[in-house]
Amino acid sequence: MREIIDESTYRANDIRGIADENHPKFQLSDEFCEITAHAFVEMLRKYRGKEPEDMVIVVGKDVRLSSPRIKSAFESALMQRGVRVVDIAPSNKVSSTPLMYFATWLFNADGGVEVTGSHLPKEWNGFKLCVGSESTTEKHIKEMLRHAKRIEEEFLRTGGSALPHAARKGEKVDASEEVFKKYHDMIVANVVLRSKWEELALKSLAGEISLSDAIETANEIVERLPAEERFPLEALNVVYDAGNGTTGIIAPPIFRDLGAKVFCLYCEPDGNFPHHLPDPTIPRFLADLRSEVQRRNAHIGLSSDADGDRAGAVSPSGRLIIGEQILALLCKQILREKPNATIVYDTKCSDAIREIILENGGVPVEWKTGFSFIKAKMAELDAVAGGEMSGHVYFKKNNRADDAVFAFSELLLLVAREIEKRGKAGEEAGEEAGEEASEGGAGGENVVDALLADFFRYVNTPELRVPVVSDEEKNRVCDSVEAYFRELAEKHPEKYRRRTDPQGRDIDGVKIDFIDANGWALIRRSNTSPVIILRMEAKSEAGLRKIEEEVIKKFMEFETVDLNADDYVRGILKRLQN
């Protein structure tokens, strides 16, 4: 019997697979999408307590060439079940994943679906899903898989005639313009009104007022403000590289309405990704952004992934600012506004994050990598913010959505405030010296590099992605390597120490302190692909080299891992082979 639902596509947080119909490993067929839609409805029946005819589900899509086909198959199956579909990316329009999250909140929907391959290569695609306005968890995805395999079996047994249908087909409504406008207004309100908007947003999240009413109230307040308060980003020159993903039509208009001067790179949606893959975690994809920031003498360059939930940036000196550094920059602003607050970060992050949160009076919590894991831990602890090394940044006041554009708006406000503060300090110094302050204040264009200086307390690797031939082999190799380092920590506690949660359990993979090297190594399996993730950190270059070589030497025992795929890992291999 042929297989429609490849179980490897149902991952820890979402669903991803090969969507190119000409690819030899093609997975996301129309039948796959239809069965997955039915499985989603069945899962929502349990968690929303509704029959399909009473459900409202938001559906959007990113820029990928396969997204229209996949979206059409998925939403057709939803409507066959009687579901009311709220379409936020009809026809040739696109949406970001954060727009989908926002729309589920705006319409109090029963679920949401964004057709997206996120940061993966263009032949990939998939689904990011919500139950209500909360991201699906591993438990939800496992339940969907059980439903999907059951539906698949019946579908194949009956020759495709067994998919359930409602007596009345569900309707589809185009909400794209409303969602774009209200999302735009929400971010403007957050930047301009700060605590007042947060109060309105939290009331909406508590069910006391609708999000539409909160935004309308905020708009009325903003309109009454004097011009100097409505344009807090007026001092900024920003370069925005969307990589032909979804955020190029979303972010620049917002930042311009807040007063910034925005120069666009590759802001036209194009699923061929003709200039570079939109992934702000890969340095070579930010080369054009670096050049443009320097050419424009900009204060900062910003870049998101294809579906707009990963954030990255570039400083005036050309330094790549990854997710953990964006979170570190924002921590001080967050904790000034919310003293003693809890902030969650993923286990790949530098120890500098924990230290900065503690130094600024916050409560740091280290947790598993993955948007559903971070969001769930934030909800459990009532954390005000969270972040991951990979560029996902979350705010409670934004319904804990990992939203690059929202995070960028917070970062730009921080930079604008710092420029203003330094300008005032320069004016005062000039007055005392009897001189005029230079235009733009003291070091305005270099403020981002100055702010970053506090973060670089350790030397560390980038996120190292080691491909494995299959998911099954990934799990076998990881099981073996993790067990090896756990055993080292147990037998030689004077040299190795496991980092665990308060209950003594590994947080995500295995994280080992190398005591003599004054650093640590993390080994974990990717939630989304047949890849093993490594990261290492130490106080010194010598310590980091020692850790790197010990870890990679262990992986050299396995023929099914490709240690030559990553430039950084190849450098470690070269040292070991000399």
| Intra-chain end-to-end CA distance of the chain, in Å | 52
State whether residue 534 is helix, strand or coil: strand
Phi, psi of 411, deg, nearest 5: -65, -45
Cβ atoms of 412 and 237 within 8 Å: the answer is no
From the list 118, 135, 204, 350, the catalytic residue is: 118
Cβ atoms of 402 and 393 within 8 Å: the answer is yes
Q: What is the dihedral of CA 33, 37, 38, 44, to 10 degrees?
A: 160
**Helices then strands, each counted (H, E), the chain:** 18, 22
**Catalytic site includes residue 118:** yes
- Tally Cβ neighbours within 10 Å of residue 86: 26
Secondary structure letter of residue 405 according to DSSP: H
Q: Which helix (H) or strand (E) holds 356?
A: helix 351-359
**Beta carbons within 8 Å of 177's beta carbon, 6+ residues apart:** none
Cβ atoms of 563 and 476 within 8 Å: the answer is no
Cβ atoms of 342 and 383 within 8 Å: the answer is yes
Closest CA to 254 of 419, 409, 393: 409
Cα 4 to Cα 101, 124, 153, 532, distances in angstroms: 28, 17, 9, 27
Beta pairing partners, 302 = 240, 313
Tokens representing residue 111 in the block: 């679920």
Cβ atoms of 512 and 520 within 8 Å: the answer is yes
Cα 473 to Cα 142, 374, 470, distances in angstroms: 20, 27, 5
Length of the chain in terms of residues written? 578
Cβ atoms of 112 and 58 within 8 Å: the answer is yes
d(CA 115, CA 465): 24
Phi, psi of 282, deg, nearest 5: -105, 115
State whether residue 497 is helix, strand or coil: strand
> Hey, which residues are catalytic here?
118
